[in-house]
Amino acid sequence: MRHSTSPNRTAIRSRNWIAAAALSTVLVVAPATAARAANLPNLPQSAGGYELTFAPAYDYDGDGCYPVAAIAPDGTLNGGLNTTGAVNGNCRDQSDLDRTQTYARSKCNNGWCAIVYASYFEKDQILPGCCGHRHDWEHVVSWVNQASDRVDYVSRTVHGEVQTYPRSSVRFDGTHPKVVYHKEGAFGSHNFRLANSNDDPPENHYGTWRFPPVVDWNGWPSAALRDRLMTADFGSASIKITDQDDRFRNLLNRSKPAGIPFDPWA
């Protein structure tokens, strides 16, 4: 398993009792053949050129889940998983990788486009059999300079905060910024990090950088299906491309690179 060498920003409220729980167990990873109780089908890809051209190239470290459908075509919402068993238990089979999904939404003005990519995971578990929460939403933002037609900045959500990086800090697969879903150490939770030189070959079942089917804001089969997901309650996890609580524009405002003329409120 590979982990970022950046400073650990994990905030765990009950750190002492989590550490105590760790003394009685060893971090384990479920075998690839772990059974699934149910598999929601994903939506077919339906996205515009920008959303596809600048979508992240993803990998997923072995100690976490794969991003799957949060909602099925018939409107069934993903119920998520309990934080029991292995940290990747029942959520990292090849069948999960075969039904991955990315949800996207963009805003463009003043020569810049911000494209937010949202990924849903069925749980964010910290220790074997313990700790964390059902459901996890993680987000990556590609900041596209329309003059150069390239990604000049990349943002990621991490523990309720946002970190933004210049192009020089980002590795690319063609036009696609490389990111990895990882676990931040023994007592850390999961989020996306930028890929580094140790991330090739990728760790997923196929050993390649992955491009889940993208559904953008205007690509949903119906507004009703989109609204059902955008207003769903995922507990302590929340999707940031919704207008609910003005989450979408607030995320853009918080992640906007310094000095660019983009207006998140326009």
The answer to the question of residue 106 being in a domain is: yes
The answer to the question of residue 203 being in a domain is: yes
Q: What are phi and psi of 190, to 5 degrees?
A: -105, 145
The answer to the question of residue 21 being in a domain is: no
CB 81 within 8 A of CB 55: no
3-state DSSP of 21-57: HHHCCCCCCCCCCCCCCCCCCCCCCECCHHHHHCCCE
What range defines the domain where residue 223 resides? 47-255
Dist. CA 2–CA 27, nearest whole Å: 15
Q: What is the DSSP letter of 138?
A: E
Question: Which residues are within 8 A (CB) of 4 and not within 5 positions of it... i.e. 6 or more apart?
Answer: 182, 184, 193, 194, 196
The answer to the question of residue 17 being in a domain is: no
The answer to the question of residue 67 being in a domain is: yes
The answer to the question of residue 9 being in a domain is: no
Instruction: Give pLDDT tens digits along the chain (266 positions).
Output: 444 433 333 333 343 433 334 333 333 333 332 233 358 999 999 998 999 999 999 999 988 999 999 999 999 999 999 888 887 878 999 999 999 999 999 999 999 999 999 999 999 887 777 676 689 999 999 999 999 999 999 999 998 899 999 999 999 999 999 999 988 776 667 789 999 999 999 999 999 999 999 999 999 999 999 999 999 999 999 999 999 999 999 999 999 999 999 999 99
Q: What is the DSSP letter of 139?
A: E
The answer to the question of residue 16 being in a domain is: no
The answer to the question of residue 110 being in a domain is: yes
DSSP states of 140-160: EEEEEETTTTEEEEEEEEETT
**pTM for this entry:** 0.85
How many structural domains does the chain have?
A: 1
